[in-house]
Structures are given as C-alpha cells and as structure tokens.
Structure 1
Amino acid sequence: MNSALTWCLALAPFALAGSGFLAGAAKPFRRRAGTGAALTAAFALALAVATGVAIALHSPLATGTLGIDGVGLGFYVDTLSAIMFALVAFVGLIVTLYSRNYLDGDPAQGRFTKWLCLTLAAVLLLIVSGNLLQFGLAWIATSVGLNKLLLFYPERQAAVLAARKKFLASRVSDLCLVAAMALLHQAFGSLDYAVLFAGAEAMRITGVVPGAIHAVAVLLVIAALLKSAQFPLHGWLTEVMETPTPVSALLHAGVINAGGFLVLRFAGLISLSPVSLEVLVIVGGFTALFGSVVMLTQTSVKVSLAYSTIAQMGFMMLQCGLGAFAAALLHIVAHSLYKAHAFLSSGSVIDLARASWSPSPGGRPHPARMAMIVGLVLAVTLVVGTLFGATIIQQPGVFALGAVVMLGLAHLIIQAFDERPSLYVIGRTVALAVLVGLAYFGLQLAAEHLLAGSLPPVQALRGPLDLAIVAVVVLAFAAVTILQSLLPGKAAEPRWQALYMHLANGLYVNTLANRLVLRFWPSPPPVQTGRTASIMPTSGAHP
C-alpha cells in the first residue's frame, strides 16, 4: 500500500512533463495548454497532501530501486521531501495560473508553457528521487529547463549573458555531484538512499569517518553553493529580469532551493565532515551579509528582490553549516512563499506604496539611543531563545537567524522612541517584538520535532570559529540596522555617497565576472525575431 502510494506520487512529475510536451505542440490552443498545465500542477499538489497524511502514519515511504547496485529508478519520500514536494507543487500551480493570463496572446506561449512544465517536473522528480543517480539526472534536467526559460527572449543580450554565467556555474556543480556519486558508489557499493543513509548513521555511531566521505561532503557542499548563487558566483541571479515575471517567481521561489535541498537531503553525510560544515558557515555567512547590504541600495524592485534571495540562500546555508537543518527547511518554505508573492505582485508595488504612504513626523534618530535599542532587541532574543533552548551554545544556527529577524524590528522600536514618544506606542512596539520572538522560536521548535526522523538533530556549537562567525554576523547586522537609520540624514556627505555607489554596484564583483565571461565566450549579434527590444516588455510588464 505504501509503495503503491509512492509510485502514485511519482506520477506527478511525469504528468507535468507530458503536459509540457502537449503545450509545446498545441500552438492553436495555447491558453488551453496553460490550463492543462495548471490542472496537472493541482494534481501534483493533491498527491503531495495525500502523501503527507500517509507519512504521518508510516515514514518514510520507499519503493526501492529498480536497477543494479542501487542505480536505476526509485522513489523515497519522507517528511522532508513531502514538505518540499508540496511547496514546489503549490508554487508551480500559482505560477502556471499566473502565466496563463500573463502570456496570453504571445506567439511563444506554447514554448514557454512547455519549458515551465518540464522544469517543474524536473524539480519534483529531484525531490522524490530514491537514489543519487536519479537525483543527478533530475538536477541536470532542472538546469537545462531553466536555461531555456532564461533565454525565452534570445535577442536580449543581458539574458544571454546571465544564462551563460548560470550555465558555467551549473556545469561545475554537475561535475562535483558526479564526482561525489562515484566516491559514494565506491564506498557503499550502491547509490540507493536507504543504503547511503544507513551507512552514514553507522559511521556516526562508530565515530570512524573515512577520508572519502569527507571528500564527498565537500563536493556536495560545493555543488549546492554553486546552485544557490552564493558569493562570488551570484551575479547571474540579479540579471534574470530579462525573462517573463513567472520565470523570476519560479526561480526565486522554487528552483534556487535545489542547492539547499541537496544539503538537507544528504545532511546525514555532510554533518559527518566538520570541514564541509565550516565551508557552509563561512560562504553562507558572508553571502548573507553581502546580499543584505547591497539589497538596501537597489532602486529596481526586482533587482532588490534578487539580492534578497541571494542573502536568504546565504542565511539558509549558514544555518545548515551550524547544524540547524530543520530551521533551514522552515526558512526555505517561508522564503519561497514570500518571494513568489513578491515577484508576482511586483508590478503593483507603486500602487501599494502610494496607498500605504503617510507623512513622517520627522524624528531625529540618535546613535546612542539606537545602539541601546539594538542591545535591547538582542537581549530579548537571548531571553526568548533561552526559554526554547535555542541559546548561542546549544543551537547557534537558530539563535543567529532569530537575532537577525529581531533586528528587523529594531526600526519599529526606533521610530516609537524618536517620532511619537509615548508609553503606549513604546509598550505596544516592545510587546510586538516579544511576540515575534515567541512565534519564531516556537516555529523552530515545532519544525525540529516534525522533521526529527528526516534530518539530523540540531547541533551544538562546535568551537571558537563558529562562535566568532555567529558573533560577527549578529554584530554586523546590528551595525547595518543602525547605519540604515542614520544614512538618510547623511545622504549629502561625499563619503557616504561614494559608499552608496560602490554598494549599489555590488562592489563590482559581478562586473568582473561579466568581463571574464565575455572575454572567453563573446556574445553573438542580437537575434532578429521580428520583435525589437524597444517594444519588448520588461519582466514586470504584460507582454
């Protein structure tokens, strides 16, 4: 019964793939093809819900591998994959419904629907794969489908450049995954998940970890970092705005999470290697800070959202490196839902801003008072985190992100003190901060219990390096919070203008990457398609 349900869940990716091929062929019925794709995505979501109920009773569900030595076709579904499957199916359903109207009348609507469905099918197949070879094939198929979507308008030079940078990063990622695959098959004699997970657990119990497993963990981490647009290979993600808006929503809310899912899926193996975890901590922590700071300087709504995604993926990698795997999955779910809504509603941002505008009383923030408020927020985080057992020593990953989330509320408290100082406003704002802290740490605790059978338990602080990194991340975001409030009053000063300009250009890292790619892979002349760039819509407008 359980095996049959797992095979039924596997129908969803293949049904989406079939819908994609039909959409590409049904040119006179493009809108009907989009409706068929949406119905298939709804079918996938319904299967995910049914499977989630079954997993609540019997976890995990596995079919075994139809092949030789754990290499072939098979499916493995536990709480982790059920949550991710439901998330991608839900986002895919919303995106396909949105794109049905968004591209209505576009002569290439059938081609767009085809590659949208095929990309979604590859992501869903990746999530429920039961062995690493199948995972790797779906991993590559996801990259191929996304590349086709990025080049939906091939006459746009910026789209071509972004697709090429993504292509190069993805191919290196693929090579790392293939190398890890070869080492794992040599070590365990199989690529079936059940065998790999059992072998990793045995190593954890005995405490004996061969050097090949450390190499596998590092290779998997590098593959995930390259897939997740981490610094310094992040630039392509900020340049995909030449594609239709549904692609941006699907990419930022679904496909970009493939790297994070790789780390979570093989967390049992990766957590055996302290070196691989430190790589996640260092790269993820720096990317989170870099993306967050640069995001504040962007004037384009969608570029700002792109840097936000880069930062959020960095946070997620930082959490994994600190051993907070359940918190990382909760982060993925929350970020995906928020980012899908943000991109699909980005065309209305001006109307929303005008509707919510209110005159500022003109408060003047004071640095000392702001520092005191930031310290108060961090103290609240420490107290609430301690109540839930999420201290900086016991659960550094959960605490670090909790502190950053709470620092986001510091602006509200600063305004309460500076603009309309009254006991009622101050008390209400502080109460809100406490409530947010309770909600955050409560959700983290619930996610930890829900995923106890799918992910390793939360790890304690490993040593002084991790402590230093957590401290640097929290203090750096505290400094950014203070500067964000002070900078508007210093906008006329030349040094702040220069700093703003450098940050707005991402410290020119992406510019150097563009020059390097163009040097060794020059762009061809623009493709003439009968639609000139001057009349082509941007990704935020209806074509």
Structure 2
Amino acid sequence: MPTDSPYPLLHLAAVAACPLALLMALLVPTHLANSMGRRFARLASWVSLGVFGLAVLVLIGRFLAGPLMVKVAGDEALRIDIYFDTLSAVMLLLVTFLGAVGVRYSGNYLAGDPQQGRFIRWLCVTIGSVLLLTISGNLLLFALAWVATSLSLHKLLTFYPDRPMAMLAARKKFLFSRLGDACLVGALVATWQCFGTWNFAEMFTAADTLRAHGSEHSACLGWTSMLLVGCALLKSAQFPFHSWLPDTMETPTPVSALMHAGIINAGGFLVVRLSPIIAGSPAALNALALVGAFTALFASMIMLTQTSVKRSLAYSTIAQMGFMMLQCGLGAFALAVLHIVAHSLYKAHAFLSSGSIVSMTRAAWVPSERPSAHPLILLGTLGSAVALTWGIGMLFGLSLTSSAGVLLLGAVFMMALAYLLWNLWASS
C-alpha cells in the first residue's frame, strides 16, 4: 500500500469515522438530549444511516485497496492500530445496518418518553463501541472497546430503574462481564509475555514462530488461548454463564434486539479474530467444541418449555451461540462468520417484531377500513425493496467469500434475511 497515495489515508479516515461518528453522542449532555427528544432521535437516525452508507463505501475500498493495517499513534506498548480486513468489513457492515434499524426503531418505540434522549445517546455509544471493536488492530484497543461496549450496554439495561427484575438482571450481567474482563486482562498479560506485542499481525506471526519451535512454548500458547476462550464463553452466555441473558427481557425491545443480534456475537468475533492463536491449542478448541455442543443441546430443550416469546428467543440465542462455539471448536471459522451474519439478521427481526404479535392478532378480529393499495403500487414497492436488499445481499456475499460459485447463493440467502429487516425499517 503506497504511502504517497492519498487513497489509503481517505480509506483510513472513512474506516475510523464509522465508530467515531456514533461515539460523538458522548459529547451531548443528557439534559440536552432529553430536551431535544424526538429531534435528537431523528438526528441520531440520520447519522446512523449515514454511517451505514459509509460502511458500504469502505467495504468497496477494502476490495479495491486490500487489507488496511495502520499504526495510528502511540509507542510499542500503548498504541492505536487499525486492522481492516474481510472479517472487519463484514462485521462493520452488519453492525452499522443493525444499528441504523435499531436507532430508527427506538425513535418511535420511545416517542414521548421524557428519557428518550438519554436512551438514544447510550444506544449510539454502544453501537460505536462495537464498531471500534471490529476495526481494532491490537489487543489493548480491542480490550478497551470490549469494556466500553459492556459498560454502555449496562446503561441501557438499567434504563428502567423502577423495574426490580431489570435491575437484578443488569447486576448479574455486570458481574459476568467483569469476570470476562478479568479473563481478557489475563490474556493481555499472557500475550505480552508470549509475543512481546499486542499488534494482531505481529501476534499471528509470532504464534507461528512459537509453534515451529515445538513443545517448549506450548504452555504459553495454551494459557493464552484458554483465557481468550473463557472470555468468549462468558460473553456469549454459554453454560454455566447463561442465566443472565433470559432475565434481561425487562429492558426496552431495541436493547434486546441489539444485544441478541450484535453484542452477544462479540464472543464469536473474538474467537474468529484470534483464531491463528487459538487454533494452535487443542485444549482450547476442545473446550469450545464441548461447551458449545452442550449449551446448544441444553438451551434448545429449555427453549421448548418457555411460555414467554422473549424468553424463548433468549434461549434460542444461547443455543445459536453454542452452535457457533462448536463451529469454532471444529475449526470452521468461516462458517461461524456466516452463522453470525445470518443469526444477527434473523434475531434482530424476531425481537423487533415480537411486540407486534399481539397487535396483529387483535387487528385480525377488526375489519380494516383502509382501502387496499393498487397492485402496481405494491409491485413497485416490492421491486424497490428487492433491489435494495439484493444489493445488500451481494455485499455480504462478496465479503464472506471470493468464490463466484457460492457468491450468488450467499447473496440470495442474505437478501431474504435483509428483506425482513427492511420491512421493519419501513414500517417503524
């Protein structure tokens, strides 16, 4: 990547602008956000939609300019690195799309609530923290974004302080998150001891070198991998750390959608991102496979016994995360990424539409007085939605694979899932 060309600098600025644009919500005082109310929600909706458009542009830049690995600032230990490869591009596009839908949905969901501005503010910060996580180029910046995501999510989980069950679930989630953070801090120390760096590219090269030296360094790699796996299992609500997720149903629906469709996938993203290190430890892979398989079976059976729609969806998420951990444990990291994308789109739609089931059931018993739309109008609307979602599906398919044979199949699959969320956006 030539240093005298302005294109890489523009690419870097566009990549960095995606999380920074949403993290700027931290600069807005809470009382100002609340006083603006619906106007602040509308502004946040347009910003999030603009960030999604920017993510599409940087995805195109990824294929034109190749991977982006840049040291932005700092010394050897404390520095900011940007690492933008195919995995980052997929996750950036996915999170910005879900974030744009979630922010738009929240504007109507909390319309009239005196604390709407505070909610939108922390929702934007949470999404921005996840975006920072996806483009982090070293483990230290990754850990800071990881903790920031957890703390900002806690603000959303405690949005209703007068609901005892919501506060209890938030405290339980907070404790499990701190345990996961402790594992990540331990992994930071172990990584520095093993590799002498936190930069991802340098870590992967050093891990290959250590593996080539044989068994004398296997203990160092093993401990590092196990700490990373422990952090991922805690984040993904795997057995026996799963109990907090079904209890978070007292939170606003957009929080549930964001948590189940985006944030909980951070555990899988961690494993896939650091797979060159974790794949060198058979014990870590076995732990992922065994815990994931048991959790998938365990949560699937419990899901069938639930009478609450949201709790059933929560156990469904736990089971799907179990399948994802199983895929990683078997070394199918590319399949795990496809699972992340498909599950995120499906689960976001499931949660954001769960509240409409009762309304739709009631409406079925009341005759509608609205005239039916003209068939040509319906066809035009459907054609526009299909064209847009086809484009989104092609982008996801191109990101996930470079094989022309499965590109079309991936695009069709993603189009069907994205179409559900587009309908939700249009009706919100």
TM bucket, shorter chain = 0.7 to 0.9
Q: Equivalences for 1:134-533 in 2 at 5 Å?
A: 134-203=141-210, 209-350=217-358, 447=400
3-state SS in 2 of match to 1:64: strand
C-alpha deviation, 1:157, in angstroms: 1.1
Aligned-pair Cα RMSD in Å: 2.3
Aligned equivalent of 1:22, options 22, 25, 28 = 28
Q: Which amino acid aligns with 1:66?
A: A
What CA distance in whole angstroms lies between the structure 2 residues aligned with 1:115 and 1:257? 19
What CA distance in whole angstroms lies between the structure 1 residues aligned with 2:233 and 2:361? 35
What CA distance in whole angstroms lies between the structure 2 residues aligned with 1:353 and 1:206? 65
3-state SS in 2 of match to 1:69: coil
What CA distance in whole angstroms lies between the structure 2 residues aligned with 1:346 and 1:306? 12
3-state SS in 2 of match to 1:210: helix
Would the aligned equivalents of 2:229 and 2:288 in 1 still touch at CA under 8 Å? Answer: yes
C-alpha deviation, 1:21, in angstroms: 3.7
Q: Which amino acid aligns with 1:5?
A: H
**Structure 1: any 5+ residue segments left out of the alignment?**
357-442, 451-543
Q: Identify the residue that residue 8 of structure 2 maps to in structure 1.
A: 2
What CA distance in whole angstroms lies between the structure 1 residues aligned with 2:173 and 2:318? 14
C-alpha deviation, 1:200, in angstroms: 2.4
Q: Identify the residue that residue 390 of structure 1 maps to in structure 2.
A: none
Q: Identify the residue that residue 54 of structure 1 maps to in structure 2.
A: 61
C-alpha deviation, 1:343, in angstroms: 0.6
What CA distance in whole angstroms lies between the structure 1 residues aligned with 2:64 and 2:212? 27
Q: Per the alignment, do residues 332 and 33 of structure 1 end up closer, same or farther by CA in structure 2, a change over 3 Å counting?
A: same
Q: Which amino acid aligns with 1:18?
A: M
What CA distance in whole angstroms lies between the structure 1 residues aligned with 2:19 and 2:188? 23
What CA distance in whole angstroms lies between the structure 1 residues aligned with 2:119 and 2:191? 37
Aligned equivalent of 2:97, options 76, 90, 94 = 90
Q: Which amino acid aligns with 2:132?
A: L
Q: Which amino acid aligns with 1:308?
A: S
Would the aligned equivalents of 1:7 and 1:75 in 2 still touch at CA under 8 Å? Answer: no
User: Paired residues, what number?
Assistant: 365
What CA distance in whole angstroms lies between the structure 1 residues aligned with 2:318 and 2:224? 25
Would the aligned equivalents of 1:327 and 1:444 in 2 still touch at CA under 8 Å? Answer: no
Indicate the percent of aligned positions where both proteins have the same amino acid.
Answer: 53
C-alpha deviation, 1:182, in angstroms: 1.1
What CA distance in whole angstroms lies between the structure 2 residues aligned with 1:54 and 1:131? 22
3-state SS in 1 of match to 2:355: helix
Q: Identify the residue that residue 376 of structure 2 maps to in structure 1.
A: none
Q: Which amino acid aligns with 2:276?
A: G
C-alpha deviation, 1:79, in angstroms: 0.3
C-alpha deviation, 1:212, in angstroms: 1.0
C-alpha deviation, 1:187, in angstroms: 2.1
3-state SS in 1 of match to 2:331: coil
Runs of 4+ in 1 over 3 A off after TM superposition: 201-210, 350-356, 443-450
Would the aligned equivalents of 1:151 and 1:160 in 2 still touch at CA under 8 Å? Answer: yes
Q: Which amino acid aligns with 2:19?
A: P
Would the aligned equivalents of 2:33 and 2:118 in 1 still touch at CA under 8 Å? Answer: no
Q: Per the alignment, do residues 214 and 444 of structure 1 end up closer, same or farther by CA in structure 2, a change over 3 Å counting?
A: farther
Would the aligned equivalents of 1:284 and 1:318 in 2 still touch at CA under 8 Å? Answer: yes
3-state SS in 1 of match to 2:69: strand
Q: Which amino acid aligns with 1:15?
A: A
What CA distance in whole angstroms lies between the structure 1 residues aligned with 2:320 and 2:62? 29
What CA distance in whole angstroms lies between the structure 2 residues aligned with 1:261 and 1:7? 23
Aligned equivalent of 1:12, options 13, 18, 28 = 18
C-alpha deviation, 1:63, in angstroms: 1.4
3-state SS in 2 of match to 1:66: strand
C-alpha deviation, 1:274, in angstroms: 0.4
Q: Per the alignment, do residues 70 and 86 of structure 1 end up closer, same or farther by CA in structure 2, a change over 3 Å counting?
A: farther
C-alpha deviation, 1:217, in angstroms: 0.3
What CA distance in whole angstroms lies between the structure 1 residues aligned with 2:300 and 2:104? 31
What CA distance in whole angstroms lies between the structure 2 residues aligned with 1:345 and 1:57? 37
Q: Per the alignment, do residues 447 and 14 of structure 1 end up closer, same or farther by CA in structure 2, a change over 3 Å counting?
A: closer
Would the aligned equivalents of 2:222 and 2:281 in 1 still touch at CA under 8 Å? Answer: yes
**Structure 2: any 5+ residue segments left out of the alignment?**
1-6, 365-395, 404-428
Q: Per the alignment, do residues 314 and 353 of structure 1 end up closer, same or farther by CA in structure 2, a change over 3 Å counting?
A: farther
Would the aligned equivalents of 1:6 and 1:76 in 2 still touch at CA under 8 Å? Answer: no
Q: Write the deviation string for residues 30-67 of structure 1: whole angstroms up to 9, x where unpaired.
A: 11111221222122212221121122233311212521
TM-score (structure 1 length as normaliser): 0.64
Would the aligned equivalents of 1:69 and 1:189 in 2 still touch at CA under 8 Å? Answer: no
Structure number with bigger Rg? 1
C-alpha deviation, 1:19, in angstroms: 2.9
Would the aligned equivalents of 1:65 and 1:192 in 2 still touch at CA under 8 Å? Answer: no
TM-score (structure 2 length as normaliser): 0.81
What CA distance in whole angstroms lies between the structure 1 residues aligned with 2:202 and 2:40? 41
Q: Which amino acid aligns with 2:188?
A: M
Q: Per the alignment, do residues 61 and 347 of structure 1 end up closer, same or farther by CA in structure 2, a change over 3 Å counting?
A: same
Would the aligned equivalents of 1:320 and 1:328 in 2 still touch at CA under 8 Å? Answer: yes
Aligned equivalent of 2:125, options 98, 111, 118 = 118
What CA distance in whole angstroms lies between the structure 2 residues aligned with 1:62 and 1:47? 19
Q: Per the alignment, do residues 278 and 355 of structure 1 end up closer, same or farther by CA in structure 2, a change over 3 Å counting?
A: farther
Would the aligned equivalents of 1:271 and 1:277 in 2 still touch at CA under 8 Å? Answer: yes
- 1:32 and 2:48 matched: no
C-alpha deviation, 1:449, in angstroms: 5.1
